[in-house]
């Protein structure tokens, strides 16, 4: 997935959806313990790295109002190495921002993997993941290969081999959700450990059987603040989706369909926002 010529490297970084997302409670470090099953999908940002005389990041396709996460990743990588690496980074954003699709985290993982290749750093996957975890909670997932159980605050990854024989209709409404705000709305532990134990025992051998039972603990919060989204989610269910859920803390939502023709009918509906017809993927970042 890394294409280069020694001086320059091009990388595609995929989006993810949360097939389920459960919040188990707040930790002493003020993060929350989560349990999620994440799946990469074939919607990609595009990143180009080029050896340069100075470090720079430029982004097209989106407006980023705060410090770019790649700047933080660069700082953490240089701290780990004890030296600076001069590189020009260009990012083409195709993954919507503020939609729960992990675009920034995916870009970060791709950036770290690309720097490892471009500068022949010979860092192990474990070292890359260690650096990744200091940048963002979702970043380590993108070294998993495509599907994984994600625990802790997002840094504990258990790769899974899940079926890929389904189609995803993804809708990104015309608004975004701030993740920090969404977490601030959580008041209590929302999911019991017993539910998690059941899911772990059922994965991956009974994935199709439990797919319809997956939940996202942010859904109630998002729908109470954006009630019009509930109508669209109900409509997606009426199309016959096996699972309908928001991804991450929103704002995007998706339907999973076993039958392509039915998925295409759902995709062709005039949704209020951007829409995508996607497939789950295996993805080896390295």
Active site members:
16, 138
Token pair listed for 274: 């951007």
Burial annotation 135-152 (CB, 10 A radius, 16+ → b, else e): bbbbbbbbbbbbbbbbbb
Cα 8 from chain centroid? Answer: 26
What's the CA gap between 178 and 231, in Å, rounded? 21
What's the CA gap between 30 and 239, in Å, rounded? 40
What's the CA gap between 95 and 59, in Å, rounded? 12
Token pair listed for 8: 């320059």
């Amino acid at each position: 997935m890394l294409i280069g010529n020694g001086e320059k490297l091009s990388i595609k970084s995929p989006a993810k959806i949360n097939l389920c997302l459960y919040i188990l409670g707040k930790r002493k470090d003020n993060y929350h313990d989560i349990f999620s099953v994440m799946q990469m999908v074939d919607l990609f940002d595009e990143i180009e790295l080029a050896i340069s005389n100075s470090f720079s990041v430029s982004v097209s396709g989106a407006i980023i109002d705060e410090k770019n996460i790649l700047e933080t990743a660069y700082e953490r990588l240089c701290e780990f190495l004890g030296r600076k690496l001069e590189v020009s980074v260009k990012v083409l954003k195709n993954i919507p921002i503020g939609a729960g699709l992990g675009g920034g985290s995916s870009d970060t993982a791709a950036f770290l993997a690309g720097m490892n290749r471009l500068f022949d750093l010979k860092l192990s996957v474990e070292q890359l993941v260690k650096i990744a975890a200091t940048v963002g909670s979702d970043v380590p997932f993108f070294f998993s290969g495509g599907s994984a159980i994600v625990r802790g605050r997002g840094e504990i990854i258990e790769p899974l081999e899940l079926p890929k024989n389904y189609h995803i209709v993804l809708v990104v409404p015309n608004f975004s959700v701030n993740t920090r705000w969404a977490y601030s709305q959580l008041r209590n532990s929302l999911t019991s450990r017993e539910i998690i134990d059941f899911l772990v025992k059922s994965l991956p051998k009974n994935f199709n059987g439990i797919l319809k039972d997956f939940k996202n603990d942010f859904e109630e919060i998002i729908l109470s603040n954006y009630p019009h989204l509930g109508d669209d989610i109900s409509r997606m269910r009426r199309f016959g989706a096996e699972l309908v859920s928001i991804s991450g803390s929103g704002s995007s939502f998706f339907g999973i369909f076993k039958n392509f023709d039915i998925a295409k009918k759902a995709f062709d509906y005039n949704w209020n926002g951007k829409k995508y017809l996607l497939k789950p993927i295996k993805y080896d970042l390295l």
